[in-house]
């Protein structure tokens, strides 16, 4: 298990984001790795700009995730993994430290699912909406696109390799962010295209509050990535928060113990980005690698 930490920033904001956890991408050329790093840096800077201008943690995490959804390198939004029938079904969630939450599963038309999840939170009485139609998006002024928008040639080829047995289904493609703003509030957001070759209608942990995302002021904001079924069974994001809130664990210890008890013992892998109520940052994964950016200032630490 690898853990990266940043201490509390003395009352200032903090931000951490991930672009998915999984196998080590040794096949990446230096140019390809640089492209992923540019994507992570752009997402971090979008979120940090919000925080630096005194904006909310919620606005920051949504800004970061939206950049990653628009980047076809990452498995969220455009460039999402494809189902066994070659379609994109997208999941996303947001949660604030005050306890508000919204999520969408099997989204097919929203250009930015994280915006749709936020709309569910802010404009409906619900938490989770499944397969909303374009008319639902129009009610809240959200941009709708055709289903082909999400499909890239790279993902078509990846699906072909999975279906003909030349590769195993990618389990760890998800993006997300967690932040603490200058007012001390935390928030988190997660977005994904799921697993390559998954059954139509399959939903992983990303839109499940307490599994793929969780936030509580003075405690922590968390976004998860990994083997979604294991994160759901272990209620991983909430389990980390509960160790802090009820057992008094520090953030690093809480993450380490949850991974040991809810993931590693079952042979499941993944990662989290977490920002504590004090602004401390932890990025952790037990997979071979995880794309991430983290920091308490305008220039982040990157891991690819």
**Residues 237-280: tens digit of each pLDDT:** 999 999 999 999 999 999 999 999 999 888 899 999 999 999 99
Is the pLDDT reported for residue 205 higher than 80?
Answer: yes
pLDDT tens-digit series, residues 135-180 = 999 999 999 999 999 999 999 999 999 998 866 655 557 999 999 9
SS3 277: coil
Q: What is the mean pLDDT of the chain?
A: 94
Q: What is the DSSP string of 114-169?
A: HHHHHHHHHHSS-SEEES--HHHHHHTT--B--GGGG--HHHHHHHHHHHTTSSPP
Q: How much is the pLDDT for 266?
A: 84
- Catalytic residue of the set 83, 174, 225, 258: 174
Q: For residue 284, which of 104, 97, 18, 15 has the smallest C-alpha distance?
A: 18
Q: What is the DSSP string of 194-258?
A: --TTPPTT---STTSBTTTEEEETTTEEEEEEE-HHHHHHTTHHHHHHHHHHHH---HHHHHHHH
* Mean local confidence (pLDDT), 188-193: 98
* Mean local confidence (pLDDT), 82-94: 97
Q: How much is the pLDDT for 28?
A: 61
Instruction: State the number of CA atoms in the 13 A half-sphere of 2 facing the CB.
Output: 15
Residue pair 129/120 in contact (Cβ under 8 Å)? The answer is yes
* 293 band by pLDDT with thresholds 50, 70 and 90: very high
Per this entry, what is the length of the chain? 304
Please state, in angstroms and rounded to a whole number, the distance separating the CA atoms of residues 110 and 130.
12
Q: Is 174 a catalytic residue?
A: yes
Q: How much is the pLDDT for 32?
A: 79
Q: For residue 179, which of 61, 7, 55 has the smallest C-alpha distance?
A: 61
- The β-bridge partners of 188 are 95, 178
Please state, in angstroms and rounded to a whole number, the distance separating the CA atoms of residues 4 and 82.
31
| Burial degree of 125 (CB within 10 A; 0-12, 13-18, 19+) | exposed
Q: How much is the pLDDT for 86?
A: 97
* 69 band by pLDDT with thresholds 50, 70 and 90: very high
Domains and CATH numbers, the chain: 2-303 (3.60.20.30)
pLDDT tens-digit series, residues 3-57 = 999 888 888 999 999 998 876 555 567 787 899 999 999 999 999 999 999 999 9
Q: For residue 104, which of 172, 173, 206, 186 has the smallest C-alpha distance?
A: 206
* Max Cα distance, the chain (Å): 53
Q: Which residues contact 209 (CB under 8 A, 6 or more apart)?
A: 93, 95, 101, 103, 127, 128
Residue pair 273/47 in contact (Cβ under 8 Å)? The answer is no
């Amino acid at each position: 298990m690898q853990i990266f930490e940043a201490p509390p920033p003395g009352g200032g904001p903090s931000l951490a984001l991930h672009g998915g956890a999984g196998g080590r991408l040794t096949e990446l050329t230096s140019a390809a790795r640089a492209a992923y790093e540019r994507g992570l840096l752009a997402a971090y800077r979008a979120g940090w700009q919000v925080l630096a201008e005194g904006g909310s943690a919620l606005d920051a995490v949504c800004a970061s995730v939206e950049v990653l959804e628009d980047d076809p390198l990452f498995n969220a939004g455009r460039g999402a993994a494809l189902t066994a029938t070659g379609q994109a079904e997208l999941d996303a969630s947001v949660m604030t430290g005050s306890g508000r939450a919204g999520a969408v599963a099997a989204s097919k038309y929203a250009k930015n699912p994280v915006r749709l999840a936020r709309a569910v939170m802010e404009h409906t009485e619900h938490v989770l909406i499944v397969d909303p139609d374009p008319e639902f998006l129009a009610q809240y002024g959200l941009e709708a696109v055709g289903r082909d928008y999400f499909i890239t040639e790279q993902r078509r080829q990846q699906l072909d390799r999975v279906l003909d047995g030349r590769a195993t289904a990618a389990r760890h493609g998800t993006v997300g962010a967690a932040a603490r703003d200058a007012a001390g509030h935390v928030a988190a957001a997660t977005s994904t295209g799921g697993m390559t070759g998954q059954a139509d209608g399959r939903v992983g942990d990303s839109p499940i509050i307490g599994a793929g995302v969780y936030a509580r002021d003075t405690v922590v904001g968390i976004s998860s990535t990994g083997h979604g079924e294991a994160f759901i069974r272990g209620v991983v994001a909430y389990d980390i928060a509960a160790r802090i809130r009820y057992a008094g664990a520090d953030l690093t210890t809480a993450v380490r113990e949850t991974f040991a008890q809810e993931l590693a013992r079952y042979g499941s892998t993944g990662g989290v980005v977490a920002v504590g109520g004090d602004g401390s940052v932890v990025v952790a994964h037990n997979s071979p690698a995880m794309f991430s950016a983290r920091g308490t200032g305008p220039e982040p630490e990157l891991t690819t």
